[in-house]
Structure 1
Amino acid sequence: MSREFDIDPDDYVREKPGHQFLVRTEAYTDADVFELEMRRIFERTWIYVGHESELPDAGSFKTAQVGRQPIIVLRDKQGGLGAFFNRCVHRGAALLREAEGTVQELRCPYHGWVFDLSGKTRLVSERNDPGGYGPGFEQPEGLVPVPRLESYRGLLFVSMDPQIVPLERYLGLMKEVIDAKLDLSPTGRIVVASKPYVARYQGNWKLQTENIVDAYHFMHTHGAFVKLQAKFGDTTGDFGVHKGRSTREMREQRFRGATWSCLYGHGYAQVPAADTDALLDGEFGGLYRALHAQHGDEGFARIASKVTSTVFPSMGMIHQQIRVWRPISPEETEVLIYPYEIEGAPEAFNAGMLRSQERFYGPSGFGMTDDTEIFARVTQGLRADHVKWLVFDRGMDTDEQTASGDFRGLPSSEAPQRALWREWSRLMRRSASEA
C-alpha cells in the first residue's frame, strides 16, 4: 500500500471541544507528512500568487510555486490574465526562472520552441529540417493552464483542483478583513510597488501560519523591542504600526479586541482603533475624514482597526503588507513580505508606512529576526520527539461558534491556530481519488 494512505490525521490532531486541543510533534517534522501536505493541501486549495498591480502591461509575468508545482502568471495582449505550468510541453524545461519581468513571448531555452502570451504554441523550431517532424506530427496546442485562476479585489489565487469551491466562498469571513484593508484607499485599491523582503527560516511552514495571527507571543518574543518602545516612544518612527507606549499600555493593547477561527482554515486577530478622533484630526486627517464620509461610522471603525490575518494555507495580511510563505522542506521555509501602497493616499502616508515596515519586518528590523530565532528554537525543541504533543488549548472554553460556523475568541485565544489545524486535519483525511 502506498505510504500516502498510511497517515491517519486523527493520530495527529486531537480535539475535545471546549477542553483540549493537541497536535502531534510529527505533524511538523515528518517527511512523509510534508510530502502529503504538498499534494493534499497546497495542490488542492486556493494559493495566493500575486496582485494584479504587479502585472500592469502585456507580457508582464510572475513566477510562483504551488506546492511542488512551478507556475507562471501572465498578462496577454488583450489585457487578460492566465496561469500556466512553468514547463515547456516539448522536453520539460522551465520557461522562466526570474521572479517577475516582462516578455514579448515565451521562448524555451532548450530547443527554441515559442509560445505566445496566451500560452498557444507559436513556433516549433526547425520543424521541417532534415530529421525534423513528419506530416503526422501532433503539435501540442500550447502550455498547460493551471485549472483555476480567480481574483478577489486584485488579489490573485490559483488552484490545482478544478472542482474547488469558488474563491469568494473559500475566503468567507476573510473577505471582510480584505475589504477593510483595501478600503483604506479612497479608490478601494492598493499597489504592490516595492520589491519583497525575502527570508528563509529554519522551521516548518505552519510555524509562520500560526505566528502571524498569534497575539499571545508579542510581549515575550519581542520583549526587547517592547522595552525600546517604552523608552523611546514615537521617536523610533513607529508610524502607528507598533505604537510606542509603556509596557503596561502595550500589554493592555494586546488584550483588546477579538480573535477568529474561520472555515477553510483562515484566522485573524482584530484590535479596534483606540482613538478614531485622533486619526480624523491628525496629520492625515483629510484622508481619514474622506473615508469616514464614504463609509460611515461602522465602516470607518472597521477600516481604522488593526487586523492581522492569514488565508490558509500560505498568505497573510498584516499592517500594510502581504506576506507569502513557501514550504521547502519540513525544516525550511521561505517567506516573502510585500509592502503595498494605498492608492490615493498622500505620498507621505505611504512613505511612512514603508519606513515602519523596514523598522520591524525588514532584514535588519526588530521583529523578523525575533520570529525566525523562535522558529529555529521550536524546530530544535521538536527534535525531542519523546514529547508527543503540542498544546493549543488557550481560550477554548470561551470561544463562541457563530451561525456561519466560524468561532469568535477572546483577544489572545489560540482560536486562529485551531482553525489551521482543523482544516489541516480535514484536507489530510481526503484520499488522492477525491475531487
Structure 2
Amino acid sequence: LAVLAVPGYMTPTDFLSFTGPFSDSIEHVRVIRDSSPNHYMILLKFRSLAKADEFYAYYNGKTFSPLEPETCHVVYISEVQCETWEVRSEDIDKENQLTELPTCPVCLERLDSAVSGLLTTLCQHIFHCRCLARWGDGNCPVCRYSQTSAFGIRMSGTSAMESGKAPEDGNTSEQSRCHICERTNDLWICLICGTIGCGRYANGHAKDHFGQTQHPYSMELESQSVWDYAGDGYVHRLMQNMADRKVIALDTQAIRRNARSMWQRAPPSRGSFMDAREKLDAVTQEYEMLLVSQLESQREHYEMQLARMHHQQAQQIKKYAELERKYEDHKSEHLAALETKLKLNEEEHKEWMAERKRLETNANKWLKKSTDDAKRLMEEKAIAKQFADNQTALNKRIAELEANSVDLQEQIRDLTFFISTQKSLAAEQNADSELHGASV
C-alpha cells in the first residue's frame, strides 16, 4: 500500500504511532519524497494481504490528527520500479546463497524484515520500527537529518519564489509575515499551531494569539528563543546554529573570551576597563541567576505537570476500573434479564402453541359441522323444492276439481230441478185428469 500526501509536520515516529495497531503486520516502511513542498508519501509492505485490506479499510479517509484537517489517503500499489541500479540477490553469493544482513544503528541487531518491521527514512537510513519509535526525535539517529526542518525550508523557499523574492539561507523572518498586520520584523511563531504574529513591542499580535488560544509557547524567528506567556519568561537559553541548524547552548565563557580579545585589541583606560569588567561581571551574574531561576521554574513546572499526569492517570485507571465493574454488573444483570425473558417467552410460546392446537381442532370440528349443515341444507332445499312442485300440482288439481265440482253442482241442480219438476207434474197429473197423458 501507499499513503499519499502525508503532511510534512508528521515525522516517521509520529506515523509509526499513528499506525500502531498494525505494527506487527507491517514488514517494511519506506519514506519517499515527492514533488509536493510540504507533503511526502510512505510505502508499506505487509506480511499478508488480509492485513493490508484491514489497514486500507481502517485508515483510508481517517484524519491524521483531531486538530488538523488532513486525511489519510491509502491506495493499492501493484508494483514498484526503481530507477537506480540495485544488486540482485543471485549475484551476491552464488556459491552458498548467503548474505549478511545490515545492522540497526540504534540497537545494533540484524535488520531482518521477517522478525521485525523496518523503516527507511528520507535520508535512506534503515531502522527497526520499534527502535525509531523509541527514539522520540524527529531527526535521523545517524546523520541528524531533520525531516520537519527540510520541509520548513522548502515551504519558505516556495513562498519566497511565489512572492518574487529569492530566499536567503537562515533568514526566515524576511520570508515570513504577521498573519494580521503583515509585519516582516520582530516576528514570533506559535510552537503549538504555527501561527506567526508580531511581538509585543510592535503590534502585539503574537500575545493576542496567546490570549485567544491559550497556546503558551512562542519562538522568535530571528533569535530562535522560546518565550512562555504563562510563566512570563524564557523557557530555555538554547540557541540554533544557523550554519548547520543544530540546537546549541549559549556559552557565557565564549562571550567573556570575545570580550577580553576585543579589549586586548583596543586597550581601554584603567577606569573604563574596571567599569566594563564590573558591568560584565554584573551581567554574567544576573544571567546566571536568571538561568538558574528559569531552570528551577522549569523543573517545578515539569514536576507539577508530571504529578498532574500521574494523578490523571490514576484517576483514569480508577475510572476505567469503575466503568469495567459497572459494565460487568450491567452485563450480568442484562444477561439474567434476557434469560428470564427468554424462559417467559418459551413458556408463552408453549401456551400459544397449545392454544393454537386447540383452536385448530375446534376449527376442524366447526368446518366438518358446517360441511354437514351445508349438505343437509342442500337436501332440505331439494325437498322444499319438491314440496313446492307438489303443492303447485295439487293446487292445479284442486282448481280442476273445483271446476268439476261447479259443473257437477250445476248438473245436480238441473237434475234436482228436473226431478222436482217431474214430481210436480206427476202430482198435477194425478190431480188433474186433463193433463193425463200429456208430455212436456
TM-score range, shorter chain: under 0.3
Q: Which has the larger radius of gyration?
A: 2
Q: Higher RCO, 1 or 2 (CA under 8 Å, sep at least 6)?
A: 1
TM (norm. structure 1) is 0.18
Greater per-residue strand proportion = 1
